[in-house]
Structure 1
Amino acid sequence: MSFLSTVFARALASRNYRLYFAGQLVSLAGTWMQQIAMIWLAYRLSNSAAVLGMVGFASQIPILLFGPFAGVLTDRFDRRRILIVTQFLSMLQAVALTWLTFAGRASPEWLIGLAFVLGSINALDLPARQAFSAQLVERREDLANAIALNSMLMNGARFVGPALAGFAVATIGEAWCFAINATSYLAVIVALLAIDAKANVPHDTPAWRAFREGVGYVWSHADIRPRLFMVAAVSFLVTPYAVLMPLFASEIFGGDARTYGLLIGSAGAGSLLAGLYLASRKHTERLPRRVGVAVLVSGAGLTAFALNQLLAVAFPIVMVMGFAIITVIAGSNTLIQMQVEDVYRGRVMAIFSMAFLGIAPLGSFAVGHLAHAIGVQPALFACGLGTLAVGWAARNIGMKAVRREGPL
């Protein structure tokens, strides 16, 4: 009970955060089901690594293109209202995807186009969501716990959603996964309408000047800037493995949609454990070093996964990778949010989203085409070696931060 109290009691003591958490709990499971079903449908229709890379590219490149200006909007307008609009638009996108699939009109071109639409919505939704979380806790010392719970919630859904989607795709088809996701958005919309958090104070700085101020703030901050570079490197080199997972499930391991769902679910289980670990921490003094070590672990895991031929061995490898990746991403998010000034929070979170999700499509595009040219396993092996090199640099960043923030 003491461990559960440490994980859940602090942020969930705030009414507004409890409402937000409950709405996200329902919605995110549906979101992961849609993502898995969409990638599998793209693979089934095309049987192409390049198409898988294009779907991943289209879903996340808008975050890189529109992220900085989305951060300006997040600091300029009421974040709760922004989230209500983005959730409603995401629901409409899921409805369109459901109709196309039921009608037999889904095609790789439609999937790429709708992935781009959802990515454009997420470009605004993600920084607004992360900045809004800081308004929902009543005590600032609970902010780190709230950020870790957000990560745990997302990755708990990542653990359950893919496994459910794998079996649902194999038994009732992709369209029902899309329909379930469309319905799940109602939960978070209702929760947002019930929240009565104090609105953020909007600024009236001209948009272009506000954008330059946000970039300048990040660039001049000695701790935030290197953490963002590290997150970007992991997103480019490591996260594309998930886009190529259908090829491993089918061609390397001889499985089907169930195998794919279980592999992604295993990564989600590791991610969930990482979220629990981060949420249980009361202090952040040792976190910089842990994040640096996690980069090395993710690189070693990716290298091992690329060389592996056995399905039974793949499950623990991707679980370790899931733990390491979320330790890097969520740990970096926690450290950045604890340091950023509130007036810049939306813009900094937008740049963080660019580093995490905006850079990932470039990796998906590059690694997908590299896998098409030389094979999926050699491509991921090269990415693993690159990540190990980044890990040595990240470890040095972590050690310097520890010396500034206190002893281990």
Structure 2
Amino acid sequence: MRALLGGIADAFEDSNFRRYSVGSVVSWLSFFVQAVAVSWTAWDLTHSTRWLAIVALMDAAPNIVLMPLGGVIADRHDRFRILLISYAFAMLQAATLAGLAFAGQLTIGVLAALAFLHGTIHAFSVPAQFGLLPRFVERRRLSSAIGVSAAYTQLGIFIGPALAGWVILHFGSAIAFATNVVGYGIFFGFAALLRTPAGYEQPAASGKAVMADFLDGLRAAARHRGIAAILAVMLFGDALAAAVRQMAPAFADTALGAGVEGLSILLAGAGVGATLSALWLAHGGARRAAPSTILWAFLGFLLALVALMLAQSLIAAALAMIALGCFFEICRTGTVALLQVSVPDELRGRVMSTQFLLLRLAGALGVLAVGAAAEDWGLRAPMLCGAALAFLVWGAAFRMRERIASAFSAHCA
């Protein structure tokens, strides 16, 4: 059985990782339940793709501005404590959303303001979480734990929205917001059970200025030819994937005429595809996330996106979403796993925050561009144009795939 489960079994033999994973999985799922509920509420209040883009941008803007600071703080201080403080504020933000929704007082302006607060909080939580595993997991199991953690973290991006569609359809957005409050509560319960292994030492802070520390992380990513090339491809991928995710309410309602029921089915399709690929990646651990695998999966993602935009029925769109979820899960999880095993622990928070910042920026710009263009041209044309541009970038990266693989091999050796 252990051989059948591969890296999954190796990672879960660590008791700390088992406890951490339960709380982390639940909180990631509820996080994305809230994210979709925010998008659907914005659409329900305004029926405007422009407002969908504005709310998404309000969430992304503080992420983009403050993420460098969050990465530096994560590398200078106790990442676990930073995460707990951030999640406490996130729990209060979710409770405010739920309370206002239950009272019928949630307006588009208030929703945008709370989205801004949400983005501010997670500019500090994300870098801390990405660099947390070395604090609790034995070094010999760290590679497997990183692979499994990356798989279920990215899986939450697709399973969470699928769950959100079901919750919104049957219970409404207020319950979806309340789900996130419960998710954070479960995380705190399991976090209290974590124990730091004997012999663990917090990496020493550099002593440099904050901006100098951030630039060290940026240079580490830029100088690594493999990381730079993969991130260039994923910038376009995240721009398109974020646009699909944020514009899904409008696509289901206007392009397919299926309303919230159609939204639920589309998001469930992406969740099914992501689940299959996440299990495959988790089984192989971080070693399965090879650069060539990521590049081939990115091509599959683009083809699935084109199929989605050309779909004329809900069934065809749902099938395309299954493929899209499968391929993009491989891309996102593979990228995160590669980065985590390719950089030293003292730089991990800054490099991971740089990666998250760049992809968040790309996602925000993608949503803004598609949302604005869709007001006049509909959703299909802007998305297909974006896919064409992404294909050109993929082609350039694919031609240098051997050099990319060599760069990662050299740094992981």
TM-score by length of 1: 0.93
1:147 Cα deviation after fit = 2.7
1:356 paired with 2:355, answer no
CA distance in 1, matches of 2:164, 2:340: 33
1:96 Cα deviation after fit = 0.7
Are 2:159 and 2:274, in contact at CA under 8 Å, matched by a contact in 1? no
The CA deviation string for residues 351-373 of structure 1, in whole angstroms up to 9 with x for no partner, is: 01112223211111111111112
1:255 maps to amino acid? A
1:174 Cα deviation after fit = 0.9
Give the 5 Å matches for 1:96-175: 96-140=96-140, 142-175=141-174
CA distance in 2, matches of 1:286, 1:130: 17
- After superposition, the CA RMSD in angstroms is 2.1
1:94 Cα deviation after fit = 0.3
1:212 Cα deviation after fit = 2.3
1:266 Cα deviation after fit = 1.3
1:155 Cα deviation after fit = 4.8
Per mean C-alpha deviation after superposition, the further-off stretch among 63-72 and 145-154 is 145-154
Are 2:20 and 2:190, in contact at CA under 8 Å, matched by a contact in 1? yes
CA distance in 2, matches of 1:146, 1:397: 30
In the alignment, which residue of structure 2 is the partner of 1:346? 349
2:399 maps to amino acid? N
Q: How many residues align?
A: 405
The CA deviation string for residues 194-246 of structure 1, in whole angstroms up to 9 with x for no partner, is: 22224622413322221222222222222222222222221123331111111
CA distance in 2, matches of 1:355, 1:375: 27
Quickly say closer, same or farther: Cα 1:113–1:283, change in 2 above 3 A. closer
Give the 5 Å matches for 1:281-296: 281=284, 284=287, 287-296=290-299
1:11 maps to amino acid? A
CA distance in 2, matches of 1:316, 1:124: 36
1:384 Cα deviation after fit = 1.4
Are 2:49 and 2:247, in contact at CA under 8 Å, matched by a contact in 1? yes
CA distance in 2, matches of 1:305, 1:153: 25
1:283 Cα deviation after fit = 6.8
Q: Identity over aligned residues, as a percent?
A: 28
Per mean C-alpha deviation after superposition, the further-off stretch among 114-123 and 209-218 is 209-218
1:224 maps to amino acid? I
- Give 3-state SS (helix, strand or coil) of 2:287's partner: coil
Give the 5 Å matches for 1:38-117: 38-117=38-117
In the alignment, which residue of structure 1 is the partner of 2:319? 316
Are 1:64 and 1:359, in contact at CA under 8 Å, matched by a contact in 2? no
Quickly say closer, same or farther: Cα 1:312–1:238, change in 2 above 3 A. same
In the alignment, which residue of structure 2 is the partner of 1:201? 203
In the alignment, which residue of structure 2 is the partner of 1:254? 257
TM-score by length of 2: 0.92
Quickly say closer, same or farther: Cα 1:102–1:4, change in 2 above 3 A. farther
1:156 Cα deviation after fit = 4.6
- Give 3-state SS (helix, strand or coil) of 2:168's partner: helix
Are 2:146 and 2:286, in contact at CA under 8 Å, matched by a contact in 1? no
1:297 Cα deviation after fit = 1.5
CA distance in 1, matches of 2:384, 2:333: 25
CA distance in 2, matches of 1:345, 1:144: 14
1:242 paired with 2:241, answer no
1:201 maps to amino acid? P
Per mean C-alpha deviation after superposition, the further-off stretch among 377-386 and 194-203 is 194-203
CA distance in 2, matches of 1:282, 1:19: 19
Quickly say closer, same or farther: Cα 1:381–1:217, change in 2 above 3 A. same
In the alignment, which residue of structure 1 is the partner of 2:36? 36
1:280 Cα deviation after fit = 1.8
In the alignment, which residue of structure 1 is the partner of 2:21? 21
1:182 Cα deviation after fit = 0.9
1:281 maps to amino acid? G
Are 2:226 and 2:403, in contact at CA under 8 Å, matched by a contact in 1? no
- Give 3-state SS (helix, strand or coil) of 1:205's partner: coil
1:5 paired with 2:5, answer yes
1:282 Cα deviation after fit = 5.2
1:186 Cα deviation after fit = 1.1
CA distance in 2, matches of 1:158, 1:43: 20
1:375 paired with 2:374, answer no
Q: Which runs of 5+ in 2 are unaligned?
A: none
In the alignment, which residue of structure 2 is the partner of 1:189? 188
Quickly say closer, same or farther: Cα 1:224–1:163, change in 2 above 3 A. closer
CA distance in 1, matches of 2:241, 2:315: 21
- Give 3-state SS (helix, strand or coil) of 1:359's partner: helix
1:188 Cα deviation after fit = 1.0
The CA deviation string for residues 7-45 of structure 1, in whole angstroms up to 9 with x for no partner, is: 421111222211110111222222222122211111010
